[in-house]
Amino acid sequence: MRLLATTRRVIAQLAHDHRTVALILIVPMVLVGLFAWLFSSGEAFQTIGPIILGLFPFVLMFIVTSVATLRERTSGTLERYMTTPASRTSLIFGYALAFGIFAIIQALLTVFFAVWVCGLDIDGPLWQLILIAAVNAICGTAMGLFASAFARTEFQAVQMMPVFVLPQVVVGGVFMPIDAMDEPLQWFAHCLPLTYAIEAVQAVAGNESGWAVGRPVLILAAFAVGFLVVSSLTMPRKTA
């Protein structure tokens, strides 16, 4: 009941914050549209499109969640919440559930826009691509909750992005295949969740099935659960 109460409160707050709703639901479609327009000639968008669908949900949900959680601490909401019988676990998982609902809506809108408006050609089942985008966005939410524990201001929360996100973009398979990297970089890449998100969307785009899709999705989900558990143990009561 406490978890659901937290979820309802966060959803209500987000629903009244139109800029955040636009950032979560509209900005990914705009960015996908820009990439489709930029690479409209040739087959470049068919190659980079699936990678974008694995990248944008993760990055945007990381930013929104880390800033929103930090705002709870700086405003004193978290401190007041901790005076109730509720636990950190119900708070963290309540946030994850609330942002997860928005993440699923984001995944639906972005994938449909990429396929039906921008002309992205996906050989595999469309529902698998939506599932991967949703799980990836939830993983970005979980990592954002974890990263917010290390920040004291909203500006510092945004500064967490180069630490937690950019290394994953660099070695996660966005710029070059992981198999083509040096072995130490390959080991590092396989320790990062975004690697498996990109692997999964590329597998679906290539019409692969079975373990080729299921393995990276399960690993990505495990990362999300792991970050949520660690966040529930490390989340401070307030900003020092």
Task: Determine the Cα–Cα distance for residues 187 and 201; give it in Å rounded to an integer.
Answer: 20
> How many other C-beta atoms lie within 10 A of the C-beta of residue 95?
27
The count of other CB atoms within 10 Å of the CB of residue 125 is 13
Q: At a CB cut-off of 8 Å and minimum separation 6, what does 141 contact?
A: 61, 62, 65, 95, 96, 99, 100, 103, 224
- What whole-number percentage of the chain has pLDDT above 90? 12
Q: At what angle do helices 126-148 and 211-234 cross, to 10 degrees?
A: 20
pLDDT of residue 42: 66
Closest CA to 172 of 202, 145, 144: 202
% residues pLDDT > 70 (the chain): 90
Rounded CA-CA distance 209/230 in Å is: 32
Instruction: Identify the burial level of 102 via C-beta atoms within 10 angstroms of its C-beta, where 0-12 means exposed, 13-18 middle and 19 or more buried.
Output: buried
Length of the chain: 240
Range of the domain at 140: 2-234
User: Is 209's pLDDT higher than 90?
Assistant: no
- What are the pLDDT digits (tens) for 156-189? 777 788 888 888 888 888 888 888 888 899 999 9
Asked if residue 7 belongs to a domain, the reply is yes
CA angle, 192 then 105 then 141, to 5°: 30
DSSP assignment, residue 86?
-
* Spatial CB neighbours of 135, under 8 Å, sequence gap ≥ 6: 197, 217, 220, 221, 224
121 located within any domain: yes
In a domain, 239, yes or no: no
Cβ contact 110:28 at 8 Å: yes
Q: Is the pLDDT of residue 237 over 60?
A: no
pTM value is: 0.83
Q: What's the number of domains the chain is made of?
A: 1
Q: What is the average per-residue pLDDT within 76-94?
A: 67
Give me the amino acid identity at 182.
Answer: D
Q: Is residue 240 part of a domain?
A: no
Number of H helices, E strands in the chain: 12, 0
In this prediction, residue 87 carries a pLDDT of 65
